[in-house]
Amino acid sequence: MPEFKISVVGDVSKRVILGPTVGIELFRILRFSMENLILAQLGMGKEEENQAKANENIYLVGKAVGGELGKAFLSGIDDLNEYVTKLREILINLKVGILKVVSADLEKGKIVVDIEECVTCVGTPNIGMHICYFEGGLVAGILKFFLKKEVAVVEVKCCANGDNVCEFEATVKE
Amino acid sequence: MDLCELSFVKKKLGRFLRNDVLEGVIKQAISECGLIEKNDYSVEEMHKILERMIGFGGFCELVARNIKARLILRK
Ligand SMILES: [Zn+2]
């Protein structure tokens, strides 16, 4: 298993009895506590603007993690199919979700992927919102690592919006 | 410590990356900009270095975007 170059990850093999994973409940509580903390720090008044800023920050963290995942596990792969197959394996192992490519048109710079059983939103109530900014960023960071180009990702379907899957549209920037 | 000091960038990157990795990416960014390694850069030079770091992706990008935003807001 290649190692993360992020120092904060440390040597997870030292967690001998409990192993390298944590509960999804903890992930979600941490994820939404962070969002609420950012919102609290932005203050009251401009609710929509503040929510957009919080979403953007969570997206950027996801993008950073995606880039590091690419460096740690996907270096040296130059075929998109092979890259996606390996990526699917990694996202399942990390229990982020089950990745499926819906469409990929590299000439037009458009890639659409689904994530089933998304770590953030599957089973959450329908609140009429897209909430998977971390995962959107993750997809952006991972695609940027492969394409060596900036990629912008938007979540177009989300379980928190009543859909049964998360869907992300990626646009490659020239 | 100032936003345009290399020691500041290294300190922020050091929150995430291992020291050997951090030194490598900083050296690469500086040389790709055609600059030499020193501690104090001009605002323009620092923007160039940060742009390179954004291109590297990962936590390097996150830190660089953060410093860049602070540099722009400072003006
Ligand atoms: Zn979602």
Q: Using a CB-CB distance cutoff of 8 angstroms, which residues of chain A are in contact with residue B57? A: 63-64, 66-67, 70-71, 141, 144-145
Residue found by looking up tokens 């040597």 in the block? A11
Q: How far apart are CA A113 and CA A139, in angstroms?
A: 9
Contact present, A160 and A124 (Cβ < 8 Å): yes
Q: Does residue B17 fall inside a structural domain?
A: yes
Number of domains, chain B = 1
B21 neighbourhood in chain A, CB within 8 Å = 5
**Any CB–CB contact under 8 A between A104 and chain B?**
no
Q: Which residues of B touch A (CB under 8 A)?
A: 14-19, 21, 56-62, 65
Nearest CA to A131 out of A102, A162, A89 is that of A162
From the CA of A62, how many Å to the nearest CA of chain B?
9
Quote the tokens at residue A164.
Answer: 């049964």
- The arithmetic mean of pLDDT across residues B36-63, rounded, is 94
- B1 part of a folded domain: no
pLDDT at residue A6 in the model: 74
Question: pLDDT averaged over chain B?
Answer: 92
Q: In chain A, which residues have pLDDT < 70?
A: 1-5
Domains of chain A from N-terminus onward: 7-172 (3.30.1380.20)
What pLDDT, on the 0 to 100 scale, is given for residue A2?
A: 54
Question: pLDDT value at position A169?
Answer: 98
Query: Which DSSP string do the residues of A144-174 spell out, in sequence order?
Result: HHHHSS-EEEEEEE-GGGT-SSEEEEEEE--
pLDDT of residue A62: 96
The enclosing H or E element of A105 equals strand A98-105
Coil, helix or strand for A121?
coil
pTM for the model stands at 0.90
Long-range (24+ apart) CB contacts under 8 A made by B21-25 are B21/A5, B25/B53, B25/B56, B25/B60
